[in-house]
Structure 1
Amino acid sequence: MPSAGRAAVPAARAGTSADRAGRPAGRRVVGFGDNVVDRFVDRGVLYPGGNCVNFAVFARRMGVESAYLGVFGTDDAAAHIRAALADLGVATDRCAVREGETGWCDVRVVDGDRIFGDWAGGVVLDRPFEPDPADLDYLAEFDLVHLGPYAALEGSLPALRERCPLVSFDLSDEPEQRDPAYLDAVAPHVDLAIVSAAELAWDEAERLARDVHARGAALCLVTRGVEGSGLFDGETLHRADAVRVEALDTMGAGDAFITAFALTLLDQGWARGLIPEAETINRALAAAAAFAAEQCSAEGAFGYAKEIVQ
């Protein structure tokens, strides 16, 4: 498959244990895309969430400067998300505000796992963010820009790839995000693609990761819940076990995994055109599994419950 969006320089290995002794000063990451509220109908409360919001929050909790960029609605749910992000120290100063409803998803928790019901994309999908040159300049200041499939931003990926040091994209687990045409629109423009493949056997998951890589993604991270995770680096699928816990709530655990994995790679010198060493990949997978397991003890993606008012 063509891979026009990939680095033209030969890939090198980076990230040995001697590279860095601690978290480098000045790391900055941004979640660019969706914000929603997860409505736990069995509890009568909602929580702030969304893949890109969660990424920014988890990065901040890991000690990294972070921001969220996207579209906020004008309802109480949007005000609640913005207040939570302000309290957590996540920058939102370049976000757009547009008349409309915040996206939502109805959720029930059964034996610690999430059961999803009805949902609506809200203003994020109804009136998507359209980055102008100043927005692209802003995003280019971050070490990593993370996106997901629920904000209609796929068309911005070529510009982000051209301007930003690193781009990651969560392909989620929906069939439409595995359609060849969709993958061809996304994979050539991202340094790290993430697929959630809990329903696949390992051989099927590896075939999917190899396909995403062949279509242009430099690295492909596969998450399979309690079955563990793997990173395909173009040659090998490096696998790691999950950390087993008695989960209170798995909401946000996948986003926590992605965040910890990406930040660990950054700490070890990950950059475009550099393939992480196996030791670095294994360290990142283990750190991500531990951080995701810790997340399973929290309610909602990152707390901040608010009563659902009918």
Structure 2
Amino acid sequence: MKLVAVGDNCIDYYEKTDQAYPGGNAVNVAVYFHRNGGESAYIGAVGSDSFGKILLNGLKEKGVDTSHVHIENGTTAITQVELINGDRVFGDYNEGVMESFKLKEEDYDFIKNCDIVVSGFWGHVHHDFKGFHRSGIKTAFDFATKLEDDLVEEIIPYVDYAFFSYDGENINWIKEYMKKLHRFDSQMIVVTRGDKGSFVYDGKGFYKFGIIPCQVVDTIGAGDSFIAGFLMGSLNKLSILERMKMGAEASAETIGYNGAW
């Protein structure tokens, strides 16, 4: 089973401690999927600077296929991060060479030979999901907290596993939202709620799972870990609750240390 994560990457820079960690939604999912025992690849753009080398070397060390990463003249994306009581607070974001990232023909050929493709809101490939879906490859997309964005309605018909993050308290509202989004029988709408666990809607009913208790050091990467664990369980055709458990276990491991990975 092979997952290809396409889209954003960045260096998470903690200015107060002068520490730099490779990260980004798509990058993290690729790393965590491999950590869960799967084969993974990452496609995106990094700069020709030192941060680009750090990111590429980090991915290779984690066993992620980087053969289709675009190395462009310029700077690698960077996100300013601050830790407040274990929770990460994001500051300024400089997209660098990812701003103009586009897939090449050879990238499409590579993706279509994988089992599943995953991207996210800042990945610059949402317009490709219709083609991915029609080619028969499984698709996953992280909409993060952008529940009301026009992009949701645009690509939800082409997403097998749609992930959202919701920290509100109106459970009835979020359940109705999930039901309205559901488009086809095999599709799953997944909502993570931080320390309140997660919900899944498969068109027939709702599933709820809590969290795996752990010591919280740094919450960065928790949602991406859940996605990777859930997708691993999906490709292994586990039950929905088992997939949710795999996601929760992956998240618990990640938030027990500093940095995404």
- What code does the residue aligned with 2:240 have? I
User: Which residue of 2 is the match for residue 281 of structure 1?
Assistant: 240
1:245 aligns with 2:214: yes
- What code does the residue aligned with 1:161 have? H
CA RMSD in angstroms, aligned pairs only = 1.7
Compute the TM-score of the two structures, normalised by the length of structure 1.
0.80
CA spacing shift, 1:164–1:140, aligned 2, 3 Å: farther
User: Which residue of 1 is the match for residue 145 of structure 2?
Assistant: 173
Which of 128, 144, 162 is the aligned partner of 1:193? 162
Which of 104, 111, 115 is the aligned partner of 1:131? 104
**Distance apart, 1:66 and its partner CA:** 0.8
1: CA distance between counterparts of 2:118 and 2:104?
15
Any idea what the Cα deviations from partners look like across 1:221-257, whole Å, max 9, x if unmatched?
A: 1000011101110121211111232200011011001
SS at match of 1:102: coil
User: Which residue of 2 is the match for residue 98 of structure 1?
Assistant: 72
**Distance apart, 1:217 and its partner CA:** 8.5
Larger relative contact order (Cα-Cα within 8 Å, sequence gap ≥ 6): 1
User: Which residue of 2 is the match for residue 49 of structure 1?
Assistant: 23
1: CA distance between counterparts of 2:122 and 2:31?
18
SS at match of 1:226: helix
**Distance apart, 1:200 and its partner CA:** 4.5
In the alignment of these two chains, the number of paired residues is 261
SS at match of 2:89: strand
SS at match of 2:16: coil
CA contact (8 A) 1:38 1:46 kept: yes
1:300 aligns with 2:234: no
User: Which residue of 1 is the match for residue 57 of structure 2?
Assistant: 83
Any idea what the Cα deviations from partners look like across 1:138-159, whole Å, max 9, x if unmatched?
A: 1011111111111211111111
User: Which residue of 2 is the match for residue 290 of structure 1?
Assistant: 249
1:40 aligns with 2:31: no
CA contact (8 A) 2:185 2:202 kept: no
CA spacing shift, 1:131–1:40, aligned 2, 3 Å: same
CA contact (8 A) 1:184 1:215 kept: no
CA spacing shift, 1:214–1:200, aligned 2, 3 Å: farther
CA contact (8 A) 1:183 1:215 kept: no
1:13-32 to 2 correspondence within 5 Å?
27-32=1-6
Q: Give unmatched runs, 5+ long, in structure 2.
A: none
1:218 aligns with 2:187: yes
CA contact (8 A) 2:186 2:202 kept: no
Which of 88, 96, 101 is the aligned partner of 1:114? 88
Q: Give unmatched runs, 5+ long, in structure 1.
A: 1-26, 270-279, 303-310
- What code does the residue aligned with 2:138 have? L
2: CA distance between counterparts of 1:185 and 1:217?
18
Of structures 1 and 2, the larger Rg is shown by 1
**Distance apart, 1:212 and its partner CA:** 2.4
**Distance apart, 1:97 and its partner CA:** 1.6
Any idea what the Cα deviations from partners look like across 1:252-275, whole Å, max 9, x if unmatched?
A: 011001100110111127xxxxxx
1:148 aligns with 2:117: no
CA spacing shift, 1:212–1:101, aligned 2, 3 Å: farther
2: CA distance between counterparts of 1:77 and 1:248?
24
1: CA distance between counterparts of 2:6 and 2:22?
16
User: Which residue of 2 is the match for residue 12 of structure 1?
Assistant: none
User: Which residue of 2 is the match for residue 275 of structure 1?
Assistant: none
CA contact (8 A) 1:197 1:223 kept: yes
2: CA distance between counterparts of 1:294 and 1:135?
31
**Distance apart, 1:214 and its partner CA:** 4.4
- What code does the residue aligned with 1:153 have? V
